[in-house]
Amino acid sequence: MLPLVALSVLVAVSPAIAVWPLPRQYSTGTTPLRLSPAFHIDLSGIHGAPQDLVAAVARTSNYLRNDKLQALVPDRGASSGNAIRGAKSLNSLTVSLTTSGKVRSISEEAVDDVESRVESYTLTVPADGSPASLKANSTLGLFRGLTTFGQLWYDLNGATYTLEAPFNIVDSPAYPYRGFMLDTARNYFPVADIKRTLDAMSWVKINTFHWHVVDSQSFPLVVPGYTELSQKGAYSAAQVYTPADVKDIVQYAAARGIDVMAEIDTPGHTSIIAKAHPEHIACFEASPWTQFANEPPAGQLRLASSATTNFTTGLLKAAASMFQSKLFSTGGDELNANCYAKDNATQADLAAQQKTLEQALDTFTQATHAGLREVGKRAVVWEEMVLDHQVTLANDTVALVWISSEHVASVAQKGYKLVHAASDYFYLDCGGGGWVGQNVLGNSWCDPFKTWQKSYSFNPTANLTAEQSKLVLGGQHLLWTEQSGPANLDPIVWPRAASSAEVFWSGPGGDVGKALPRLHDVAFRFQQRGVRAIPLQPLWCALRAGKCDLNA
């Protein structure tokens, strides 16, 4: 392991490495090196290599052949032609595990409890053409290393090369949770779009797909035993996620080192359930909606009803059982008290039980979370369940802090593990203008647009003590989709969401100016691989690092 002092010296000498996220410790050189036409990745030292590792090697080899990414310099690398033609050739990358015993697959390791995943690796690429080496004590770590190796190379007239050999990389994540959330309820996203997003996530080492799969507007998840919810609540019979789709997505994600954490938000954001079970929903589509919900349509679970509590517990258990992840989110945000105050059934239940609304919410939460524990899940909630309500939560409950980054310290003071998801840094939908009708001057509630620079500047432990900082699991970008669909999924997410991927892998404090050329590389490489990432600057600027800085 390289000492941290050495790290700072190495990084200062060689800032041009294009890897994203930046390795925790690395050094580079100035020697040209090219991949041999016969280059191969050697797994022979791993007895019984799992199929998903074999497939990951095949994908890496494919990217090396087909990325064809030219260097982001004015002549796109042409002036280095002679040096590249005269360079030594690298024939192989040897991949090996440093532990003995049973070899677990990437897919198995990806869904381990978030705090026990092992993603570290070491990567050495000599300058003299002798075999490169990738080592890790987990297949998940090997996968992360393969991802890094694939980012080291450029193309010039069919030659795959680097000008920075040798590489010595010792890498591991600063935080175990690095996520991206997608809302598939406001607008539907086909499975192919989700898979493409999972691919892109894996290329920047994001390891958790937070799937906000249902909400008040639609219920596209086909849950065994509760299929009436999707039959009556999906936008159409074609716009659903069947159990086979879920299995496909979960397996696809796991093979790419990604855990799928699903969410069914309760007791709010559940209006659509009334289409199949009106008995369980208060103030269904009540008007004016602004008095009953944060956005239309209004409708919340009748949390004081024992029948509704039992129904919800069963639904959550059935839905959670569709996913391999140890984490499952029950939401808990944006509860509207007026909805319950105006709901006769809820008021009757509260009176009969001699409970306040908060006491009923506590009973509801304890019951639903107990159900999740029965199927081996750890509950995840939005911050209100910790800060705004008097509910009993298990000590291992994870809180998503979304309303403001200023609330993080309050959650930490309560002693809960937390994930950064603050709207003031990580919401991708901000700045798109208001989406509700008859509101000419309306803006998005979380204006302004959240730039990649804003999220890249985030400090995960700001205002926290050393002990409280240990509660931070990581963080994520989020896309709420009132104004997003398949048509703009890639451009609104990429490459912005890569910025938090680096913050939570490499740690905070990165230099925006030095990061920008590497993030250009991310966007261009994504485009080569079929992801429609947007430009961050005019091409003239992207090819001339620093020339478009404010003080250039």
Over the stretch 432-449, which tens digit does the pLDDT of each residue have? 999 999 999 889 999 999
Please tell me whether residues 274 and 336 are part of one structural domain: yes
233: its two tokens: 């609540």
CA 216 to chain centre: 23
Q: Same domain, yes or no, for 324 and 345?
A: yes
Distance CA 218, CA 186 (A): 7
Give mean pLDDT in consecutive 10-residue pieces for the chain, a chain of 552 residues.
35 60 96 97 94 98 97 96 97 96 96 97 98 98 98 97 98 98 98 98 98 98 98 98 98 98 98 98 97 97 98 98 98 98 98 98 98 98 97 98 98 98 98 92 93 98 98 98 98 98 97 96 98 98 95 90
Task: Report the pLDDT value the prediction gives residue 9, as an integer from 0 to 100.
Answer: 35
User: Are 199 and 138 contained in the same domain?
Assistant: no
Do 114 and 228 sit in the same domain of this protein? no
Amino acid 193 reads D
Instruction: Note the pTM of the prediction, 2 decimals.
Output: 0.96
Contacts of 461 (CB under 8 A, 6+ apart): 468, 469, 472, 508
Among 130, 44, 100, 148, which residue's Cα sits nearest to residue 518? 148
Task: Please say if 334 is a catalytic residue.
Answer: yes
Q: Give every CB contact of residue 388 below 8 A, 6+ residues apart in sequence.
A: none
Residues 6+ apart with CB under 8 A from 264: 213, 214, 221, 315, 316, 319, 329, 330, 331
The answer to whether residue 254 is domain-embedded is yes
Q: Indicate which residue of 334, 406, 482, 502 is catalytic.
A: 334
35 phi-psi bin (left φ>0, alpha ψ -120 to 50, beta other) = beta
* Collapsed DSSP state (helix, strand, coil) of residue 381: strand
Of the candidates 32, 27, 31, which has an alpha carbon nearest to the alpha carbon of residue 12? 27
Domain at 351, CATH number? 3.20.20.80
Are residues 133 and 210 both part of a single domain?
no
pLDDT computed for residue 17 by the predictor:
85
Same domain, yes or no: 152 and 261:
no
Q: How many domains does the chain have?
A: 2
Residue 517 in any domain: the answer is no
DSSP string, 194-259: HHHHHHHHHHTT--EEEEE---SS---B--TT-HHHHHHHSSSTTS-B-HHHHHHHHHHHHTTT-E
329/309 same-domain check: yes
**Domain assignment present for 380:** yes
Task: Mark whether 394 and 488 lie in a shared domain.
Answer: yes
Residues 88 and 189 in one domain: no
* Shared-domain flag, residues 206 and 277: yes
| Percent of the chain as helix, strand, coil, to the nearest 5 | 40, 20, 45
- Angstrom distance (rounded) from CA 439 to CA 542: 38
Residue 96 is part of which domain span? Answer: 4-171
Residues 210, 323, single domain; the answer is: yes
Task: Give domain status of residue 520, yes or no.
Answer: no
Show which of 112, 147, 171 is a domain's final residue: 171
Q: What mean pLDDT, rounded, does the chain reach?
A: 95
Q: SS3 for 136?
A: strand
pLDDT, one tens digit per residue, over 205-239 is 999 999 999 999 999 999 999 999 999 999 999 99
Residue pair 299/283 in contact by the 8 Å Cβ criterion = yes
> At 125, which CATH number?
3.30.379.10
Structural domain ending residue among the three candidates 171, 193, 218: 171
